[in-house]
Amino acid sequence: MAIIGGGTAGWMTATALAAHLSAENCTIRLVESEAIGTVGVGEATVPPIHRFHKGVGIAEEDFLRATKATIKLGIHFIDWLRPGADYVHPFGGFNIDGGDYAPRGFHHLLHADEAFDAYNVQIMAGRAGKFAPKAGGRDKALAYAYHFDAGLYAAFLRRIAEERGVSRVEGQVVDVERHPDTGFIAAVILADGSRIAADLFIDCSGFGGLLIERTLGAGYDDWSRWLPADRAVAVPSARHETPSLFTRSTARESGWQWRIPLQHRTGNGYVFSSAFLSEQAAADALLARLDAPALAEPRTLRFVTGRRRRSWIGNCVAIGLAGGFLEPLESTGIFLIQASIQHLLGLFPGRDCDPRLADRFNGEVAGVYEDCRDFIVAHYTCTEREDSEFWRYCKAMPLPDSLADRLDLFRTRGETLPPRGSFFGDLSWYAVLTGQGLTPGGNHPVASTLPDADRHKMLQRARAQVALQVAAMPDYAHFLAPFEATKDHSLAPA
């Protein structure tokens, strides 16, 4: 098998396949080009990353040290509803289920004017600056993810993959040979003339989609009418305080700005639409709003939000940016890589690469992308902001039917109804839709049969339980200290 590309997607795929396939039956080679490089961003994650690490045998301590990672309990959204307003989209669910009275989610027990924050341990711990991998009290695992240094993560995975037999080939693919009968890819040719043949090719070559698009012409569904941001300017800055337990996302005049705190520095970026703001103006705005001095020159990345129409064709499967791109508002890039790897492993083909497996893969991956897309679009369109051309466009833009239906159901009866198996569950939708100013238009009919005094008691108990769990946790700084002991001061500004 050959993997083309050594960014996060390439090395995650190599590590996972090396862990799950026997080396006697399958040799894995990864081709990457230092001259081309990687996008080098992608630093905030979501909790399913634990499943990936467990599956490939990564110990958390090693990972935290190697990638200078910090803990993430959710995203703090600032100025998204209107300047001055904020909310948190936390990980996890409500720390209580509604029992028989709220069969479709605890939020049905809340009245429209009641906040949900006190029922989610991640929000309360994040605000209090507390963290322990277990939530205390009931010893329930806390739902958390990481912020990490993307370059260090790729290097960390590379070391693991190479130890497990993956061989890395340095070189630039300049040509592709196809089988004359099947159209399958037979080999890639490198600039130095060497030929890499394989039965299966994984295209992790980034935005260009070297094999899936340039060779096989998969086609691309452009979703920029719903997600108009097409640029990001990114710059690291010096660390200036104990890292927050939340990624920070601040709405700006033509997009939004991220702040991702790591052990040794802070990642910053402005995601914006070039139809409404120039690259220079975006870079100036970003630099003017950093919390601490910049550590490098700002770098601009260009993208088109959307997805390959087919990400598996013949004997080629595209993973990562080669398969599609959703802007990073909800940190879904690495999650989408992981989901693609999981679906590929589940449908892993023989030499014939049965097209029915490819069809199934394409359908499954399309579902995951569309689900994440709708969730991200909801942040933009449900807003009171009308203070710039960009926000006026987002507020009025036509929506995917699937999202329009979802929003309508929420407005009429407070249902979120995420698709089965969706990563963004009831709490995610509830947090973001209410945070963006939507009022749930009612409760599940069964919930209203609970007498109000019982409802109050139940809510009070749930809040008290969350408060107890948070009180039992140590300060986050205490958790982080042993990892920070290996701080690299060379990155601090002079």
Residues that bind ligand FAD (CB under 6 A): 4-10, 31-33, 36-39, 41-45, 150, 172-173, 204-206, 210, 232, 234, 269, 301, 303, 320-322, 328, 331, 333-334, 337
Q: Which residues pair with 189 in a beta bridge?
A: 175, 195
Q: Do 308 and 220 contact (CB within 8 A), yes or no?
A: yes
Least distance from ligand FAD to the Cβ atom of residue 230, Å: 10
- Which contiguous run of DSSP H or E holds residue 97? none
The residue (of 41 and 132) whose beta carbon lies closer to ligand FAD is 41
Neighbours of 91 (CB within 10 A): 22
Please list, in sequence order, all residues whose beta carbon lies within 8 angstroms of the beta carbon of residue 159, skipping any fewer than 6 positions away.
none
395: annotated active-site residue:
no
Q: Do 290 and 268 contact (CB within 8 A), yes or no?
A: yes
Q: What angle do CA 219, 323, 144 make, to 5 degrees?
A: 150
The residue (of 6 and 414) whose beta carbon lies closer to ligand FAD is 6
Whole-number Å distance between alpha carbons of 188 and 180: 15
Sign of the CA dihedral running 361, 366, 369, 371: negative
The residue (of 46 and 462) whose beta carbon lies closer to ligand FAD is 46
Least distance from ligand FAD to the Cβ atom of residue 380, Å: 16
Residue-by-residue DSSP string for 278-346: -HHHHHHHHHHT-SS-BSS--EEEE---EEES-SEETTEEE-GGGTEE--GGG--HHHHHHHHHHHHHH
The residue (of 142 and 282) whose beta carbon lies closer to ligand FAD is 282
The residue (of 153 and 476) whose beta carbon lies closer to ligand FAD is 153
The length of the chain is 494
Least distance from ligand FAD to the Cβ atom of residue 30, Å: 9
The residue (of 31 and 313) whose beta carbon lies closer to ligand FAD is 31
Least distance from ligand FAD to the Cβ atom of residue 234, Å: 6
Beta strands at 201-203 and 316-318: parallel, antiparallel or unpaired: parallel
Least distance from ligand FAD to the Cβ atom of residue 322, Å: 6
Least distance from ligand FAD to the Cβ atom of residue 207, Å: 6
Least distance from ligand FAD to the Cβ atom of residue 321, Å: 4
Whole-number Å distance between alpha carbons of 348 and 315: 11
Whole-number Å distance between alpha carbons of 335 and 178: 31
Helix axes 49-56, 8-20, angle to 10 degrees: 50
Instruction: Say which amino acid occupies 482.
Output: P
Beta strands at 255-261 and 316-318: parallel, antiparallel or unpaired: unpaired
- Which of the residues 54, 68, 72, 140 is marked catalytic? 72
Nearest to 87 by CA among 437, 457, 480, 485: 437
Instruction: Say which amino acid occupies 243.
Output: P
The residue (of 90 and 414) whose beta carbon lies closer to ligand FAD is 90
Whole-number Å distance between alpha carbons of 485 and 482: 5
DSSP-derived letter for residue 193 is S
Residue 434, classified by CB atoms within 10 Å of its CB into exposed (0-12), middle (13-18) or buried (19+), is: buried
Instruction: Say which amino acid occupies 169.
Output: V
The residue (of 119 and 325) whose beta carbon lies closer to ligand FAD is 325
Least distance from ligand FAD to the Cβ atom of residue 306, Å: 13
Residues labelled as active-site residues = 72
